[in-house]
Amino acid sequence: VVGQGYVGLPLAMRAVEVGHTVIGFDLDSTRVGRLNKGQSFVEDVENDSLKSALDSGRFFLTDDFGAVGAFDVVVVTVPTPLRESVPDLSFVEAAAKQISSSITPGATVVLESTTYPGTTRELFVPLLEKGSGLVAGVDFFVGYSPERIDPGNRTWTFTTTPKLVSGINERSLEAVSNFYSGLVDKVVPVSNCEEAELSKLLENTFRHVNIALINELAQFAHALNIDIWNTIDAASTKPFGYMRFVPGPGVGGHCLPIDPSYLSWRVSNTLGVPFRFVDLANNVNNRMPEYVVERISLMLNEMKRSVNGSNLLVLGLSYKRNSSDARESPAIDVARSLLRRGANVTAIEPFLSAVPEGMELTLKSQLSPEIVRNADLVVVLTDHDQFDYSMVASHAAAVLDTRNRMPAGANVQRL
């Protein structure tokens, strides 16, 4: 498994569990070193399970590709970021070049990284063929299978979530299906790689657009003095034709801030037209942190205070409840903006051990009544389960709750 991140590590662990011998290869030697000591950074992978996988004698982690040798199946789970709003496939290219020389006849190569439709066939396969001197689909098999992992979700895990599988031809599809059938409860074959690539982007774009819709509506509802949360609860009683989405301080992680832009880039680059829904959703969701700052500023104003010089307590910095994942986190954008405006910011974040670079804030892992009392205003940005929200309500001068987690009270405003 090339890449031992949020996607690659759980996949590798599952493959070990079902009896495969697995090499987890990652260029990041610090990450490999920690994992080799049994220290997992992924919530869904317990340290104990990692240790037993390592003890099984069938799981090896390395940062040295020379140590990898030949394989029956290789799965690529490397990052696919944006660079200046353009898809950066350099990690996929580097991984393809690296593995190509080790491909032997009969091997199966799967790309799992999220990417725009066409990547597997147009970019990945030529690199594999060039480096191996073999013919894809004939001498070895290639497919795309998007990852749907939702870190922290106990119901829909790697094993229980249906897995889309595709191949560049029938024989490749068969090889890819056979491999994943042994790992997950249900595989869903898709006609070709492009449909599999696009379906992943459709899933993420659907969420991105719907969250943007509710984020924009939340702002209008507040201005119209209508409670958005009660409104959402009411609409959610409709048993058909409606799906519940809730507002928040913005979108974070990899899936929503980045993946839809892979799709809009492909559309505008190939067809010469903008993907307006994606552009609009980006616009609304990216503005949410500043909207939260505006609301904080208005609440302070009611207390005859300014952001500048106020003591603000921020609950949560990661982008998602009960997670340490702080990539693209809107909570960090809010905190940065408050710092820029001269606030003294203390953040309680039990899942992070260090403050993101360049942030002059005080990071603590534990909440206490004293810390809450010392703040002019508390902002709930990421609603980790371990926070004692009733205690916050009892001791805070004022609270802005962006996640609808606080008990109701005269000192609490919801987004």
Ligand X SMILES: NC(=O)c1ccc[n+]([C@@H]2O[C@H](COP(=O)([O-])OP(=O)(O)OC[C@H]3O[C@@H](n4cnc5c(N)ncnc54)[C@H](O)[C@@H]3O)[C@@H](O)[C@H]2O)c1
Contact 333, 310 (CB under 8 A): no
Least Cα distance to 109 among 157, 160, 70 occurs for 70
40, 113, 261, 382: residue in contact with ligand X (rule CB under 6 A): 113
Q: Does 405 bind ligand X (CB under 6 A)?
A: no
Contact 211, 253 (CB under 8 A): no
Query: Shortest gap between Cβ of 86 and ligand X (angstroms)?
Result: 15
68, 94, 123, 217: residue in contact with ligand X (rule CB under 6 A): 94
12, 16, 23, 78: residue in contact with ligand X (rule CB under 6 A): 78
Element (H, E) at 83: strand 82-83
Contact 178, 189 (CB under 8 A): no
Query: Shortest gap between Cβ of 111 and ligand X (angstroms)?
Result: 9
255 is catalytic: yes
Query: Shortest gap between Cβ of 286 and ligand X (angstroms)?
Result: 18
- Compute the residue count for the chain: 415
Q: Segment contacting ligand X (CB under 6 A): 87-95, 121-129, 312-320, 368-376?
A: 87-95
- Other Cβ atoms less than 10 A from the Cβ of 170: the count is 10
Least Cα distance to 137 among 178, 96, 170, 164 occurs for 170
Q: Does 351 bind ligand X (CB under 6 A)?
A: no
Instruction: Check 255, 293, 326, 377 and give the catalytic one.
Output: 255
Contact 154, 122 (CB under 8 A): no
Contact 379, 312 (CB under 8 A): yes
Q: Does 95 bind ligand X (CB under 6 A)?
A: yes
1, 12, 44, 77: residue in contact with ligand X (rule CB under 6 A): 77
Query: Shortest gap between Cβ of 349 and ligand X (angstroms)?
Result: 19
Contact 163, 148 (CB under 8 A): yes
Q: Segment contacting ligand X (CB under 6 A): 27-35, 161-169, 241-249, 340-348?
A: 27-35
Q: Which of residues 134-153 bind ligand X (CB under 6 A)?
A: 147, 149, 151
Burial tier of 51 (Cβ tally within 10 Å: 0-12, 13-18, 19+): middle
- Closest CB to ligand X among 81 and 137? 81
Query: Shortest gap between Cβ of 71 and ligand X (angstroms)?
Result: 14
Least Cα distance to 328 among 113, 79, 45, 107 occurs for 79
Contact 247, 214 (CB under 8 A): yes
- Closest CB to ligand X among 147 and 376? 147
In the block, tokens 């449909």 appear at 195
- Closest CB to ligand X among 78 and 164? 78
Q: Which of residues 217-256 bind ligand X (CB under 6 A)?
A: 254-255
Element (H, E) at 274: none
Secondary structure in 3-state letters for 295-344: HHHHHHHHCCCCCCCCEEEEECCCCCCCCCCCCCCHHHHHHHHHHHCCCE
User: Contact letters (x/-) for ligand X, 295-324, by CB under 6 A?
Assistant: ------------------------------
- Closest CB to ligand X among 26 and 328? 26
Least Cα distance to 113 among 8, 34, 202 occurs for 8
Q: Does 8 bind ligand X (CB under 6 A)?
A: yes
Contact 144, 172 (CB under 8 A): no
Q: Does 40 bind ligand X (CB under 6 A)?
A: no
Tell me the number of residues near ligand X by CB under 6 A.
27
Q: Segment contacting ligand X (CB under 6 A): 3-11, 228-236, 285-293, 303-311?
A: 3-11
The residue whose Cβ lies closest to ligand X is: 5
16, 23, 25, 412: residue in contact with ligand X (rule CB under 6 A): 25
28, 64, 72, 388: residue in contact with ligand X (rule CB under 6 A): 28
| CA–CA separation, 38 and 58 (whole Å) | 14
Query: Residue 319 is which amino acid?
Result: Y
Least Cα distance to 403 among 237, 283, 252, 201 occurs for 252
Least Cα distance to 382 among 72, 135, 91, 152 occurs for 152
| CA–CA separation, 202 and 217 (whole Å) | 22
Q: Segment contacting ligand X (CB under 6 A): 26-34, 103-111, 152-160, 179-187?
A: 26-34
- Closest CB to ligand X among 9 and 218? 9
Please identify every residue annotated as catalytic.
255
Residues in the site for ligand X, rule: CB under 6 A?
2-8, 25-28, 31, 77-80, 91, 94-95, 98, 113-114, 147, 149, 151, 254-255
